[in-house]
Structure 1
Amino acid sequence: MFSLDGKVALVTGSAKGIGRAVADVLEDHGALVFGSDIAPGEEKTGQGPLLQHDVTREEDWTRVFAQIAAQAGRLDILVNNAGIILNKPFLQTGLDELRNIQRINVESIWIGMQQAAPLMAEGGGGTIVNLSSIYGQLAGPMQAAYSATKGAVRMLTKGVAVEFARGGLGIRVNTVHPGPVETDLGLSGLTPAIAAGRFADLDAAKAFVAASFPMGRWANTGDVAGAVLFLASDASRFMTGTELTVDGGYSIL
């Protein structure tokens, strides 16, 4: 049920972190994976260099999907992973900063789903996995803007899931909600607390957060990639509009 043999996938933001792990696990389970990133550098998937892709630009999405259609002829899986975080007090966050994180975290997913749907439907359907966050389900300190965008991803996914299901497109749409993950992006959330003197250094801050997990450790990228694999595969074939929280119990305390 977890086999992705014959499936074609696109994973955005896959140069590193969660996106890199997701691309790897989908490939490991048989998918032909195309990766994309705003700054791909020398990174590669099994299919070659990552595609250069600014997810806020409609023309970039059009080009990426055209390349996938030309090379693979179909699209079965879209993982909307690209995103940014903003750790800043609400009263110090400017409207321009809110609009920027909104463009990257929400509007990009809107565009991606709209453009992916026709290509997926031509092939008989598919599955979309959108990366949200536990801070789209509950409040995060100094993350009002981030929480607003991840909450928007949560509800946007549910709305589209209903429309696609009732419209007979054969496209499932679900979200994954990671808690703190030990990546460059995840660890960046500790910087303001260290600067404010709450922790002596990064190691002390990491230890404090690790102790907040009932399971006793930070999440790693593989923990999140496994959840994405489940939603991308037939093992979740009767699930749409669903939220999978991957946080080691962090959000239930």
Structure 2
Amino acid sequence: MTQIDLTGRTALVTGGAQGLGEGMARALADAGARVVVADIQDDLGTKLAETLGAQHGFVHLDVTDDASWEAAVASTVERFGGLDVVVNNAGLEVTQLLADTEPDDMRRMLDVNVVGTMLGIKHAFRTMRPGGSAGQGGTVINVASVAATIAFPAIGGYSATKSAIDRLTRVAAMESGKLGYGVRVNCLYPGLIPTAMGQKLAVETAGLGLFESPEAAVGAVVELTPSGRLGEVSDIADAVAFLASDASRFVNGAGLSVDGGMGM
């Protein structure tokens, strides 16, 4: 069986300064990859890169901005000599009932979650395809959510954006194959993880009167999960390392649920 060995590869993780992104960065580094933490949080991102070690790095990246992507990828290739893995993890969740939807909040989620992922795919393809500045192929991993597969109250807008990531992933995999880019594209559906974002969701859904308390909101999620627990950061991070590696070499255009069965 092929082991998870990413030695010699360079991986860029968006939203990598904290939460799930930090866990992904650490898992990729543990598997031997050179990791570039990409985030708008310069202090946190720089500190994490320093913690990972001298062979890793940080780049400032606003995923909604095309020029920021171009600069971040160019800096990565210049410093590390290539780019093999792009993890489109950066995301934004706004909790609100559909009857109370604020258009500007929806636009922000679309910009970060959908446009940000599209730009990540764009610049990964341009860099990794034949003739690109890296030009050796590679893999793109998009982070969707179990919210794309279930009906959970107060996250309609977020669910819609994460569903879009599923479609983007499949179209991107097909384009890459048809055009000979040599880039695999897959996505993950993480379940609820008790990161700052997950805890915020529990508090806010309770605040809307959907659950008696944040603890009851978490309990409802666990009840819907056959594995009987919330996910852990390492559950998702290990799946990212798998999709980045040759162990998943024939996995392409797929959506991998890492949700304990919640979205089945």
What TM-score, normalized to structure 1? 0.94
* Residue aligning to 2:39: 37
Alignment equivalent of 2:87, drawn from 56, 79, 85: 79
* Residue aligning to 1:185: 197
Contact kept? 1:194, 1:200, Cα under 8 Å: yes
Contact kept? 1:15, 1:50, Cα under 8 Å: no
Tell me how far apart the structure 2 counterparts of residues 223 and 137 of structure 1 sit (CA, whole Å). 19
Tell me how far apart the structure 1 counterparts of residues 175 and 23 of structure 2 sit (CA, whole Å). 30
What SS does the aligned partner of 1:238 have? coil
Moved more, 7-16 or 204-213: 204-213
Tell me how far apart the structure 2 counterparts of residues 139 and 208 of structure 1 sit (CA, whole Å). 13
Query: Structure 1 residue 161 and structure 2 residue 173: aligned?
Result: yes
Contact kept? 2:17, 2:38, Cα under 8 Å: yes
Please list every run of 5 or more consecutive structure 2 residues that lacks an aligned counterpart in the other structure. Answer: none
Deviation at 1:113, TM superposition (A): 1.1
What SS does the aligned partner of 1:24 have? helix
Alignment of 1:203-222 (within 5 A): 203-222=215-234
What SS does the aligned partner of 1:250 have? coil
Aligned residue type for 1:133: S
What SS does the aligned partner of 1:175 have? strand
Listed one character per residue, the Cα deviations across residues 153-173 of structure 1 (whole Å, up to 9, x for unaligned) are 100110010010111110000
Tell me how far apart the structure 2 counterparts of residues 11 and 219 of structure 1 sit (CA, whole Å). 20
Query: Structure 1 residue 3 and structure 2 residue 15: aligned?
Result: no
Change (3 A) 1:196 1:93: closer
* Residue aligning to 2:163: 151
Contact kept? 2:86, 2:139, Cα under 8 Å: yes
Change (3 A) 1:49 1:161: closer
Aligned residue type for 1:184: A
Alignment equivalent of 2:238, drawn from 215, 221, 226: 226
* Residue aligning to 2:101: 93
User: What CA RMSD, in Å, does the superposition of the two structures yield over aligned residues?
Assistant: 1.6
Deviation at 1:140, TM superposition (A): 2.4
* Residue aligning to 1:22: 24
Contact kept? 2:191, 2:258, Cα under 8 Å: yes
Listed one character per residue, the Cα deviations across residues 70-119 of structure 1 (whole Å, up to 9, x for unaligned) are 10121000000000112111121122221111000000111111112122
Deviation at 1:198, TM superposition (A): 5.1
Please list every run of 5 or more consecutive structure 1 residues that lacks an aligned counterpart in the other structure. Answer: none
Listed one character per residue, the Cα deviations across residues 141-192 of structure 1 (whole Å, up to 9, x for unaligned) are 1111111101111001100100101111100000000111111111211123
What SS does the aligned partner of 2:260 have? coil
Aligned residue type for 2:64: T
The percentage of counterpart residues that share the same residue type is 37
What SS does the aligned partner of 1:41 have? helix
Number of residue-to-residue matches in the alignment:
252
Query: Structure 1 residue 65 and structure 2 residue 70: aligned?
Result: no
Listed one character per residue, the Cα deviations across residues 175-228 of structure 1 (whole Å, up to 9, x for unaligned) are 000111111111211123322455554344434433332212110110011111
Tell me how far apart the structure 2 counterparts of residues 115 and 251 of structure 1 sit (CA, whole Å). 31
Tell me how far apart the structure 1 counterparts of residues 57 and 136 of structure 2 sit (CA, whole Å). 28
